[in-house]
Copies of this chain bind each other. A is one copy, B any other.
């Protein structure tokens, strides 16, 4: 495939702008081929207008037809062969095996959404039958279900160029819900975005989707994303990225004349609590697992464990030594892009000079800044040291974590009281530990979206029950998730039909239940007809 760097607007291409940029191979310190064009206001307008026109025909399709489209995307993705992986690896410095694993994730979530909408009960169909004889007033027949909201804007993540980008759950769940999608390509991997977008274009053509169901716009300046979010035709937006970038676009979305939901997943500190019983039994294994999670993907996961807390004592001391030892053998590796590398280098330099913070361990091999490499670092402080330094509660994106020595369970609870919202929290312990730390678990439940026992937060299982969300700043709205089948809920709203003739109702609400879905009829869940 020859990349063009153009905007992909429906099935067309557009190359209006003379404002251009290129992608970098950070490990080699060289520019990659293809000049990408910053989308103009007119191009954004074209894409949104096309999506608006596509909305009605797209949502009217049978769910089976939309499922066919999703499965066609999976087929076209496989047909891309290694080209996508090679470009993603060059643009992000991810090893090819990692890129292949991301592709597998896309295949898994795309097929899961296809299956989910074929089954169809997710629409939450509800029927309350009328009674014209009720006194003092007749009871109307009332029915409702979830319907798509309209064109959706998607901003992918830098750290998952395949799995949380053009082909991520945001795009796929919006298609599944019946919404056209406009993706704003990530400027650090624009070529990967174009290749992935062409797979969607082909799938849309092959399954005869309405023109404009998907567009890709390129851009590296904040104004391009802002214009997309401000466009009156956009009904909702999804974003994965930094707190600063997410908050700015969230504010833009809320200050529109007609505000729209802006669903941002912005990362978090992901605290880990190592309880005494677990450390007694398997300090070595936990240290191994922790350092593996800390350094996975050069520490560039939203769920990277940035804070580890334990109770003073021999086992905790031993864990700290083991972790420091394992961090020392981690070889520095190239980060995603120069901006992230610069922020990491500055953040580490700042921590190295902070009072009350000790350097516990670091990669023995030095990082090569010319290749954008990050070394791993472990810092140590006490409960008092942590509480005295609010910056330690903030995420520093990269393979760095702070180990915090606490005196007693009350210290744990006090620290959690100071935590902001987080995507995850992890406990290592025995069941006896859990019973003894009931208060810790109670307060943690209020702060996070996912609680992990004797595991590690990185790596999200693709399943119905997964939740990748949490209170602000983990996300902008804790009711919603960006991974898993619940992700569709971001792009739908209930629509209610009162005394509506059966033949004109959406299929899911018709008396005969032609789709055979589970419905709530007069308060009872059933797959029967009404």
| Contact among B255, B258, B463, B523 with A420 in the assembled complex (CB-CB below 8 Å) | B258
Closest to A465 in B: B126
Q: How many copies does the complex hold?
A: 2
Tell me if A495 and B258 are in contact (CB < 8 A).
no
| Contact among B431, B434, B504, B518 with A441 in the assembled complex (CB-CB below 8 Å) | B504
A494 sits at the interface (CB 8 A): yes
| Contact among B126, B452, B459, B467 with A495 in the assembled complex (CB-CB below 8 Å) | B467
| Contact among B454, B489, B496 with A450 in the assembled complex (CB-CB below 8 Å) | B496
Tell me if B445 and A147 are in contact (CB < 8 A).
yes
CA distance A434 to B445 in the complex (A): 50
Tell me if B501 and A450 are in contact (CB < 8 A).
no
Q: Known contacts A259-B476, A494-B469, A525-B121; is A499 also within 8 Å of B452 by CB?
A: yes
Q: Known contacts A147-B445, A258-B421, A441-B504; is A479 also within 8 Å of B489 by CB?
A: yes
CA distance A442 to B504 in the complex (A): 11
Closest Cβ–Cβ distance, residue A470 to chain B (whole Å):
8
Closest Cβ–Cβ distance, residue A138 to chain B (whole Å):
9
Q: Which residues of B contact A523 (CB under 8 A)?
A: 115, 464
A142 sits at the interface (CB 8 A): yes
Closest Cβ–Cβ distance, residue A530 to chain B (whole Å):
12
CA distance A441 to B506 in the complex (A): 12
Q: Which residues of B contact A441 (CB under 8 A)?
A: 504
| Contact among B235, B465, B520 with A142 in the assembled complex (CB-CB below 8 Å) | B465
A446 sits at the interface (CB 8 A): yes
Tell me if B431 and A56 are in contact (CB < 8 A).
no
> Considering residues A448, A466, A525, which has the most beta carbons from chain B within 10 angstroms of its beta carbon?
A466
Tell me if A142 and B463 are in contact (CB < 8 A).
yes
Closest to A498 in B: B452
CA distance A274 to B255 in the complex (A): 36
Q: Known contacts A127-B465, A461-B140; is A498 also within 8 Å of B446 by CB?
A: no
Q: Which residues of B contact A455 (CB under 8 A)?
A: 140, 498-499
A137 sits at the interface (CB 8 A): yes
CA distance A53 to B448 in the complex (A): 18
| Contact among B434, B442, B451 with A496 in the assembled complex (CB-CB below 8 Å) | B451
A66 sits at the interface (CB 8 A): no
Q: Known contacts A56-B442, A147-B445, A431-B501; is A496 also within 8 Å of B465 by CB?
A: yes
Chain B proximity mask over A450-487: 1 for CB below 8 Å, otherwise 0? 11111100010101111101011100111101000010
Q: A149-B471, A450-B498 are in contact. List 8 more A-B contacts (CB 8 A).
A: A128-B465, A142-B463, A235-B471, A254-B254, A431-B501, A464-B523, A467-B495, A479-B492
